[in-house]
Amino acid sequence: MISHVWTPSSFWTPPLPLLPGSGGTETFTLGQCRELTRRGVDNQVVTFRLGGQDGRAQAPDVRFTGYPTPEDVGLLEGEVVLATEPLRLPTVRVPHVMMHNLPLVGRDLAFYRDGYAGHRLLAPSSAAARGWAAFLGLDPGGIGVVHPFAGAEFATEPVPARGAGPVRVLFAGRLGPEKGVYTLFETLHSFAEDGDFAFTVVLAGSQDAAYTLVEPLVRAHPMIEVVPPRTSAREMARLLVTQDVLVMPSHSTLWVEPFGTLSAEAQHAGCRVVASDLGGLPESDCGGLVLCRPDDPLALGRAIRRAAALGRLTPAARGAAARHRTVAHSVDELLAALHGGLPALG
């Protein structure tokens, strides 16, 4: 049995359920469970203090087990993978913990060393593993790498017929400064007199405090068309196949992107992706990635024009992209890490 433990975060009160479409961690966890089930490997999502409102209704094909308190994690047998944060609680086996993000601003070394002590560490990219190793004073080889992936929906969604028109550029990350939304605002000045480009922004990330500041600016911008959040992989795939370029201009000083799942998803859907040359974003390359210097509006604008000139991926290139960063590769990495005897952080 492999238990993906959806830990009750100390940052959220009450704890948040595991809901499809809420973020990369949710997509990662549910996708891995489905692939493990396909392979005949027993697995489950474990939640605490949420009862039946833990997300199971939105993912009926995934086994959920709810417990009243986190202390019940000690009852779990088999491999335990903590999906969101460590738990300083006894388990039958030494637990693994997925460190989806790099160190948060405002948290010191002691906070992380104490939290991760006694756990085997996993990271979503080689870049994230190097970042965590440098921060914690570890050998990067002692951190397992389990890359995120694009779901099958993105490679199989048909591209609708479309006539002549402007290049369609999409921003679909959380509306927060760490995702580079302010860099995008500055970049739009260089497209102000250019009718060959149309910009769309998805209203994503409403659970974050920054959203209330950014969302009115996005709605008011005369060059931006806003669209509602996409709450499933299929909905996002249907949007991506209508676009030419996805932009991911993540900011370098606020938060480093550990991987960038949306980048792989967009390339599977045939979109070119323009992303900051930062963190794990280069590892999301499936053949359609254009990198640019972070925090540089002019560099972002040049990269968008370069991606537009290349155009959407051809059917053959899209098919090749779909063979990279798949859930099968991700689960292969997970099983190798679980059985590879990673050292526990002392």
Q: Which CATH class is domain 2-149+327-338?
A: alpha beta
pTM for this structure? 0.89
What is the mean predicted confidence (pLDDT) over 256-266? 92
Report which of 88, 121, 87, 82 is spatially closest to residue 102, judged by C-alpha positions.
Answer: 121
Looking at 137-223, which runs of residues are DSSP E strands? 144-145, 167-171, 197-202
Contact yes or no for 124/302 (Cβ under 8 A): no
153-198 per-position pLDDT tens digit: 999 999 999 888 999 999 998 898 989 999 999 999 999 988 899 9
pLDDT at residue number 12: 47
Do 152-321 and 2-149+327-338 have the same topology in CATH?
yes
| Domain extents in the chain | 2-149+327-338, 152-321
Assign 320 a pLDDT band (cuts: 50, 70, 90): very high
**CATH 3.40.50.1100 describes domain 152-321:** no
Query: What CA–CA distance (Å, rounded) separates 205 from 266?
Result: 18
What is the mean predicted confidence (pLDDT) over 103-122? 78
158-167 per-position pLDDT tens digit: 999 988 899 9
Assign 120 a pLDDT band (cuts: 50, 70, 90): very high
Select the more confidently predicted residue: 90 or 301: 301
Surface-to-core class of residue 63, CB atoms within 10 Å of its CB (0-12 exposed, 13-18 middle, 19+ buried) = middle
